[in-house]
Amino acid sequence: MLLELKDVHVHYGKIEALKGVSLEVGEGEIVSLIGGNGAGKTTTLKTISGLRSCSAGSVFFEGADIGSMPGHRRVLAGIGQAPEGRGIFPGMSVHENLLMGAYARKDDHTKELAEAYELFPRLAERRTQAAGTMSGGEQQMLAIGRALLSKPKVLLLDEPSMGLAPMLVQQIFSIIEEINRRGTTILLVEQNAQQALRLAHRAYVLETGRIVRSAPASELLDDPQVRAAYLGGDVGGDPGAAAAASGPESVALSKPAKGGPAKGEPAKGEPAKGEAEPADDAEPDGADAPDGE
Amino acid sequence: MSDNTNKTANTAGLRGALSGPLEAVRTHWDRAPGWERWAVYVLLVIGALFLPYQGLAPAMSPESDWQTILFYPIGIYVLLALGLNVVIGYAGMLDLGYVAFWAIGAYTMATMAVKHGIGFWPLLPCGIVLAAVSGVILGAPTLRLRGDYLAIVTLGFGEIVRKVAENTDWLGGTRGVNNIPHPPSHEGVWFLGVDLFTYKIRDARPYYYLLVALIILVVIFSKRLEASRIGRSWTAIREDEDAAEIMGVPTFKFKLLSFATGAAIGGSAGVVFAAKTSYVAPANFPFLLSATILAAVVLGGAGNIPGVIVGAFLVAWLPERFRGLADYRDLAFGAILVAMMIFRPEGLIPSRQRKAEMAEGGGGMGHMGAEIDTSGSEAEVGSR
């Protein structure tokens, strides 16, 4: 296994965010981690990248326990991340942002730089623009491109579809697939379960700090319980083509995480529309797109 | 509602009017060839050298001795603001106890010179190193905190240093230390009618020139740092600390370095100050001074050296210039600061990068502003 979490517990003060999470990511895989708000998806990623330390349990990377390794060393070890809310450096230009991705590397990074520009031609057009003035989608591209510059063995992606228009979501996901095809292992955290499950080989379902399901992605995609909780149910048949509902609407699979249906706006039966509407205006000029807060 | 929009439009218009010509100058400057830049640098230095000219005194400071206030507060404020700029402007950490490092430098000079008879020149590096070390000592346990929490801890540190000085007999208690020797004099080197290396009580100008030399060194040092790999990691930390860490920037180490660098610059100002005034007491280092230096940095434009210098100059000079207004000058000063924050929140001469950060909504102050860690920083503070 390339990456392995064994019974990881993480606390924020007295609140236990992860209550014994174990998961494995094998080399070359795309593994997806789905779950509602507050389930602990982001915390899991932060624990892997070293931004959070676990209070119990251990994290193994290429067989070595990296539990006590600081985050900036894990980058060199081969863990790259595009953080939640994109986490780009707003005052730096696109190019400077990409170069920050190679900050820790001593060797030549021209190949990865060219690759990032090739995967995201949009970034090449905006090379000298301040990253903070770009739209949400472009910032997401930048975050992924920047992570690639550290030449990661495993790439951690935290909600790459957040706040993006359906078209753009499709595009980003196909690029993720391409990155994986070129040999980078991917651990994908998503609320957009539909898309994530189609892309991934395997998936874990996280609920209030625990892994409740673990199966090949296609199996979860057909699972009625998972469908009901995360895929907008079977109400309208296959909500499919459009980037579908993210928030759990009908609750079947035990209790969803706190604030599950917080988004509120998609009424039952029209998940696709409900999601597409706010995302649409995030695309063309999304400087005011909802950045992760 | 419409009234509100009107107001916003108004403010924006005024901002535009203010920044228009300045922007043009900035753009020109960014494209200026090397020789032009050097010419401006040389002119600025010459200007600084002619600043103590007595003919300027009636215009610049009718109420008090111009040459004296050029040393303190103006020169000292500029040096302190440049030091604080490394912490706030570059690494984006809010330090409300900066005056403590100045005090540590001043007390190093005071006690070592008076009690052990060590001279000014060996004590200058001593004060710098001691201040830097105290910066590390303060930073090591506290730099895990962010934003407001760090601000509170540094504020506490500033007060602790002052209180310790007040209550330690060895440091002179509340009465402070008297008769601190001046730097050794070398008479007979005349420059612009000033006996350049004669450090006596009467003439403030040689001390001012000493400060100018220090300021020039610090500016060069800061500029070099800013353009280096260290500077880039500071920028990354300021803009998004978590993202910096996962890019492979050892954030803790670099935050500590920024703290120590800022402290060292503050320490150097302290040594010079003590040697000039020949008297230091805890009352010289109130919290208000930390706040004033902070105001200077923010007013001028954090992260941009010309801005910081102008800001510090104004903050030091305006109250002296309008001494005649007696107590009202503080009111006027406050009003000016408020007006500034409405019409030019990014500072008088902001760094372009910071402007972009502000436009993005991050507050442009890095962890200084209201940036709250998304995933429960409060809980984290509790647990650590």
Q: Each residue of B3-58: pLDDT tens digit?
A: 444 544 455 555 555 566 777 888 888 888 889 989 999 999 999 999 998 888 88
Q: What pLDDT is stored for residue B357 in this prediction?
A: 79
Is the CB of residue B67 less than 8 Å from the CB of residue B204?
A: yes
d(CA A100, CA A89): 9
Alpha helix (H) residue ranges in chain B = 2-31, 34-50, 57-60, 66-69, 76-85, 99-116, 120-142, 147-167, 205-227, 229-239, 241-246, 251-277, 287-300, 305-321, 328-343, 352-360, 377-383
ipTM rounded to 2 decimals: 0.80
Give φ, ψ of A211 to 5 degrees: -80, 120
Length of chain B: 384
Residue B118, pLDDT > 70, answer yes
d(CA A163, CA A136): 7
Sign, CA dihedral B168-B172-B175-B181, equals: negative
DSSP per-residue codes, A9-63: EEEETTEEEEEEEEEEE-TT-EEEEE--TTSSHHHHHHHHHTSS--SEEEEEETT
Cα–Cα separations (whole angstroms), residue B223 to A148, B40, B303 = 31, 16, 10
pLDDT tens by residue, B198-212: 888 888 899 999 999
Is the CB of residue A105 less than 8 Å from the CB of residue A151?
A: yes
| Total beta-carbon pairs less than 8 A apart between chain A and chain B | 119
B246 neighbourhood in chain A, CB within 8 Å: 49-51, 71-72, 74-75, 80-81, 83, 87
Residue B234, pLDDT > 50, answer yes
Residue from B152, B171, B169, B183 nearest B274 by CA: B183
d(CA A283, CA A165): 6
A259 touches chain B (CB under 8 A): no
B361 neighbourhood in chain A, CB within 8 Å: 132, 291
- Tracing tokens 């797109």 back to the chain, one arrives at A289
Is the CB of residue A81 less than 8 Å from the CB of residue A153?
A: no
Residue B163 CB burial class (10 angstroms; 0-12, 13-18, ≥19): exposed
Residue B359, pLDDT > 90, answer no
pLDDT tens by residue, B90-100: 999 999 999 99
Q: Of A11, A42, A103, which is closest to B247 when you measure between CB atoms?
A: A103
B233 neighbourhood in chain A, CB within 8 Å: 103
Residue from A67, A68, A63, A70 nearest A2 by CA: A63
B14 to chain A, minimum CA–CA distance in Å? 23
- Please indicate whether, in this complex, the C-beta atoms of A104 and B249 are within 8 angstroms of each other: yes
In chain A, pLDDT over 90 holds for what percent of residues? Answer: 61
Considering only residues B186 and A183, tell me which one the structure prediction assigns the higher pLDDT.
Answer: A183
d(CA B268, CA B258): 16
d(CA B301, CA B88): 11
DSSP per-residue codes, A84-151: TT----TTSBHHHHHHHHTTT--S--HHHHHHHHHH-HHHHHTTTSBGGGS-HHHHHHHHHHHHHTT-
- Please indicate whether, in this complex, the C-beta atoms of B379 and A132 are within 8 angstroms of each other: no
